[in-house]
């Protein structure tokens, strides 16, 4: 509710969060955990589970085959690094890692390719999800951000 009820920051200029939020240079405010040379890692503002991360190139590109070698290499390195942070911070039992390319594939932001890293735990689907169609998030985005920043330091 804290996230939903907070007023709009007015920081969106292009309508592409993967351009606008890094360009705002307010990483903690926008939950950007890591900046590389060509790509970055941030918390998903509408997570499936606590610690749900997004990895995206700084450059707006919609398809994997349009990415350059540096972007492709760094994205994979950041995914591996982020899995380590999540293991340190949350000790999940597994992960879902993937990309939805194109609106037909479920991409919420089809103009900017991005990867999802979703930590999973045995039994993390319960009656709230299966019957109520609702996810229960026991931790705020701010707390998740602080926990993952601490994991980066280890």
Domain holding 126: CATH number? 3.30.428.10
Q: Measured in Å, how far apart are the chain's first and last C-alpha atoms? A: 31
114 is catalytic: yes
DSSP 94-137: EEEEEE--SGGGT-SSTTS--EEEEEE-TT---HHHHTT-----
- Does residue 85 form part of some domain? yes
- Does residue 111 form part of some domain? yes
The pLDDT score that the predictor gives to residue 140 is 87
- Does residue 40 form part of some domain? yes
The pLDDT score that the predictor gives to residue 4 is 41
The pLDDT score that the predictor gives to residue 11 is 52
- Does residue 3 form part of some domain? no
- Does residue 145 form part of some domain? yes
Selected catalytic residue, list 30, 52, 112, 114: 114
Other CB atoms within 10 A of residue 96 CB: 12
Sheet holding 32-35, edge to edge: 32-35, 39-43, 53-57, 115-120, 94-99
- Does residue 10 form part of some domain? no
Number of domains the chain contains:
1
Please give the average pLDDT of every successive group of 10 residues along the chain, which has 154 residues.
46 80 96 98 93 97 97 98 98 96 90 96 67 62 92 87
Domain encompassing residue 37: 15-152
- Does residue 2 form part of some domain? no
């Amino acid at each position: 509710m804290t996230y939903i009820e907070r007023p709009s920051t007015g920081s969106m200029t292009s309508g592409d969060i993967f351009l606008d939020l890094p360009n705002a240079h307010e990483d903690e405010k926008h939950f950007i955990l890591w900046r590389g040379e060509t790509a970055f890692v941030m918390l998903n503002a509408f997570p499936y589970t606590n610690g749900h991360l997004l990895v995206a190139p700084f450059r707006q590109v919609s398809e994997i085959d349009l990415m350059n070698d540096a972007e492709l290499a760094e994205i994979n390195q950041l995914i591996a690094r982020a899995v380590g942070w999540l293991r340190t911070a949350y000790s999940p039992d597994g992960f879902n890692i993937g990309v939805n390319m194109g609106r037909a594939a479920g991409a919420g932001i089809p103009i900017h390719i991005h990867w999802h890293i979703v930590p999973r735990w045995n039994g993390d689907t319960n009656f709230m999800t299966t019957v109520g169609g609702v996810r229960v998030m026991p931790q705020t985005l701010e707390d998740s951000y602080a926990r993952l920043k601490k994991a980066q330091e280890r």
